[in-house]
Amino acid sequence: MKLSSWLATVLVACGVTGVTLSAHAKTAERSNKPVRVEHYTVEAQAYRVAFLLPDAAQAPLPVVIVQHGSSPTESIGDCPVWGSKKNCVKTDVFSKELTAQALAAGFAVAVIDAFSELGVSSRDKTQFPNATRYALHLHTVLRSDPRFDASRIYYTGFSYGGASVLTVLHSGDAPFRAIAPVEAGCQIQPSGRRVSYPVLFVLGDRSHYPPKPCLYLQKALQDAGSNAQAVVLEGGNHNFGVGPSRSGPSRSLNGCTDNPVIVEGPTWRHLDGRPTDRRQAMETCTTFIGLASDDNTLMPKAVQHVVTFFLNH
């Protein structure tokens, strides 16, 4: 199955040891780093990227590519209230936090904006683009630039962005040094296989995307000989808030928690062996149940796990 077909399905939608970071210390350094915003087109679809470089670092630099979720309420770059916003990149809380911590750890950061060029609304999830191809295209751009270490390009994202990262697993081999799908859902997932790059799942135990399907996939990857790890943050909901969750109508791919759909080539089946197909899987696994809170208390900790994982790989 092509990446575009796979992502059209999934985007509607255990600890780490070694080097550690102090989340509070690193996130205190909020970035006013020079930003370069570039505009690219791949497969007739345009996207934007903000490039940020760490202080006093020597080339070649490791790079983290980060993809926002379905609600890019934050921004990076030149974002005036009035006038042109061509040098403005819309992103989310996860990506802003990731940018601050990754820069402090010595990474360059490439922040993808998948929506602005296309005029996509966060409310219409059926129109979300295939952001995985943006990341793969961006990898080719980065590896040809001598400022960046072509062997140390990482990929992470949250929610819709996490589903975009998860798509890499479906394709098997990928050019990234390591990947970290964060709150990716995993309700429709590739079959477990051996992959050459380490994988980290970061999850909240109170999320309306329950951890169970991603933990099943993590174990399947491990059983196949892959380096797959998972972190579940106790008390965290989908946006890693710890306050009371409020419900709202949100199209979510979270209806197959106990019986996720496994995709292997052209074959679609539930975990219990029952055959299905893309249309049936979407009908079965899609709900309109979403939960969130007004805080992101555990977001720095979630990002810390990702940055630490990349530092160690």
Q: pLDDT digits over 104-113, tens only?
A: 999 999 999 9
Residue 38 exposed, middle or buried by CB count within 10 Å (0-12, 13-18, 19+): middle
- Asked if pLDDT for residue 8 goes beyond 50, the answer is no
Tokens of 291: 């939960």
Q: What is the distance between the alpha carbons of residues 147 and 241, in angstroms, rounded to a whole number?
A: 37
Sign of CA dihedral 249, 113, 195, 173: positive
Residue 58 pLDDT: 84
Residues above pLDDT 90, as percent of the chain: 69
Name 90's Cβ contacts closer than 8 Å, sequence gap at least 6.
68, 72, 74, 75, 113, 115, 116
Residue 248 belongs to domain spanning: 3-311
Q: What is the distance between the alpha carbons of residues 230 and 107, in angstroms, rounded to a whole number?
A: 22
Find the CATH number of the domain harbouring 167. 3.40.50.1820
Tokens of 56: 């006093």
Tokens of 73: 């309420």
Q: Kindly state the average pLDDT of the residues 5-33.
A: 38
Q: How confident is residue 288, by pLDDT bands cut at 50, 70 and 90?
A: confident
Residue 126 pLDDT: 79
Q: Residue holding tokens 């980290």?
A: 200
Q: What is the distance between the alpha carbons of residues 181 and 200, in angstroms, rounded to a whole number?
A: 7
Residue 304 pLDDT: 98
- Asked if pLDDT for residue 14 goes beyond 60, the answer is no
Q: How high is the mean pLDDT of the chain?
A: 87
Q: Kindly state the average pLDDT of the residues 286-296.
A: 84
HSE, CB side, 13 Å, CA atoms: give it for residue 156. 30
Higher pLDDT, 11 or 167: 167
Number of domains in the chain: 1
The shares of helix, strand and coil residues in the chain, as percent rounded to the nearest 5, are 25, 30, 45
Q: Kindly state the average pLDDT of the residues 31-47.
A: 84
- Residue pair 293/247 in contact by the 8 Å Cβ criterion: no
Q: How confident is residue 124, by pLDDT bands cut at 50, 70 and 90?
A: confident
Q: Kindly state the average pLDDT of the residues 149-153.
A: 97
